Structure 1
Amino acid sequence: MAGGGAGVANLCGPRFLKAHAATDVGELKGALAKEALALGFDCIGVAAPDAITGAGRRFYEFLESGAHGDMDWLAANPERRADPRGLWREVRSVIMLGMNYGPDENPLDVLEQRSRGAISVYAKGDDYHDLIKKRLKTLARWLVAACPCEVKVFVDTAAVMEKPLAQSAGLGWQGKHTNLVSREFGSWLFLAAIFTTLDLPRDQAETDHCGSCHACLDICPTAAFPAPYQLDARRCISYLSIENKGAIPREFRKAIGNRIYGCDDCLAVCPWNKFAQEGREAKLAARAELRKPDLAGLARLDDAAFRALFTKSPVKRIGRERFIRNVLIAIGNSNDPALAVAAERLLADGSPLVRGAAVWALSQLLPHERFEALAADAAAGEGDRAVQEEWRCALGGS
């Protein structure tokens, strides 16, 4: 799951280093692939700018249905996403690259440890945008040096439909969970793109190999897939815990379990992942403190401690309020009354978003009589209407 500001770098210039010159575009493409692998990318392919017309049409339908929720950045300038030439008119080839980030342990195991938080695999280490962008810029500079051209690089944060382009470039196919699936790396590929004015040989598009499997659809805790190959982001835990700025809708709170940042269920259950582990070299090391973090400890984080813990991490971008909101939902689902102490302390937090989540967590952990007594004291002094509504609903109001 994931948006933001455009990750674009203009790396154009008339330089032409004869030592690296290639007179044949096929030779150039082969040398580019070799350089990409040396830099740590796992796969590379080339697509035509006009290769995703069908995906563009489906994207407009997705927006018209409202399935993107509050992700207004998706709906902004949709023509740029629907066709790479809408983003950059001069582009003649789209170079797609993938980097395997398959985990070294089953990310679903932590879901049974309810006093621990589950953080999505991609967010347990340093921000992948920073990791990939450095390598991508290096590769783009190599290309400009090898053959005069103009290039732009993108890593997930600009108006680029990476997954359809990656399928057109032969890296994999969009599975029934709408994410890219690779026969070599399963559902664990970071994607990046280089747009160039060079006319490079195209790769053959990958075909769908999901077959009759629908494990990714069946495992989704919130039924976020109305049909195969369709996602309603408004029901997706990644959206709810990351993009959603308000309270978690009550209908999804129990289903979220102890997922405090994102959700890996549909990715982790993919049968093609078995190939991602063969001969895998770790490229995105998970921090020990983020593998299975203790919920009680996370609930004690103030803003400074939150920023320190998640320095260089994508988690930092959602801010402390939304993160503690997620932690409190997990605490409410923990079935551990001992964690009520951590939730009760947050009834006095400065954020109404946090206080409202604390109310719900306590309503799940405390005996009704104890919760009613607590409400008599805490609810009376609450001035925020949304938090007042949390108290009313938790006490049995309709």
Structure 2
Amino acid sequence: MSGPLAGIRVLTLENFISAPLATMWLADAGADVVKVEIPGVGDTSRGVQPVNEVEGQRRSLSFIRANRNKRSIELDLKDPTDRVTFDDLLRTADIFVENLRPSAISAMGLTYQDVRAVNPRIIYGAISGFGLPEFNGGDLPYLPALDVVAQAMGGLMFRPEGADVAPVYAGFPLADIFASANMQTAIYQALFNRERTGEGACLDISMLDGVVAFNELALIMKSTLDVDASAGMHGLSHPFGSYPTADGHIVIGVLGEPVWRRFTNVMGRQDLVDLPEYGSGILRHQNRETLDRHIVAWLGEMTTSEALDELRVHDVPAAPVLRMAEVLELDNLHERGMVVTVDDPVWGPVPMAGNPLHSSLMKNMTVAPAPGLGEHTEAVLREWLGASSHPADAMTARSTGA
């Protein structure tokens, strides 16, 4: 494969989304990403619905979405021979990424210190709910954690007392995806540092840390002003959210006094600028109910297109609230490669999200389908370890059921 990471070898023990998405982005950039999977079982997401089956081959859409451009090998790390092979793969790898529970990693003898003893130059990346036990006190690192757990504990689902809605999950794996992005960033840092120093690194990515970073405005408002965030609203300004039109919804973003003055001009309500209750973003937020009545009255029976024309000609940030079918029709996303199509052997053509790191280095990104379980066992062992170094033929026979 070509790309800025061509020649970089990545070995993974990963499940579900957080680590697989991070390593898929590395594979998009040309890294040779090899998933080490349990024989006959594989990544847990291989069995997550929706699953399609053609001629006995079953493929999960959940697995496909985070594993393009990778290779898969089967190794049983409880088997002494396979474990020796795995350690030999570690010796030739540049990066090792895992998102298993810390207790499982410790039991497998694959902590950072364990792996570093095998390969001192390796970049060790761990994604977990609360961070590695080596760097944390208490019991949190040992508790099970999924995306919803991190969202809840990071304050994203909090609703102030008296709110008319219960805590609500975002509906998508925000904590997982941000952990993926953080891991990718940390890996690039570590690769650059290794170029300068020759040293490996331990990358300890916590899903909870990522959610708190996402929620930093709520944190600083509470810690300094003792003000709780309002669900679905910007705590420092208003209007900053969605409003109904005759045929849908739009969002309006007013941040800063120049934009506020332009917005009142759009509405023909320059008188609002002089009202003390609207004299700052925070005051407008505090008096949002009365302000929203003015905005809804202005919108009246305007269509989405009409409202956007008015707002944009005055340089007020605004956009339609799109359905996903409409998102998929945006030329901008296709032109930038943010929607790519993978030709899956079971599902056929599958449009999916591309790589968000758009740069001149990624112009010719390969788009290969997610691997079958153990599909590349023989090839990887021969390429990484040499044709006669290990009993690759026996492993290949096992992976193919021969």
Normalising to structure 1: TM-score of the pair? 0.25
Give the structure-2-normalised TM-score.
Answer: 0.24
More helix by share: 1
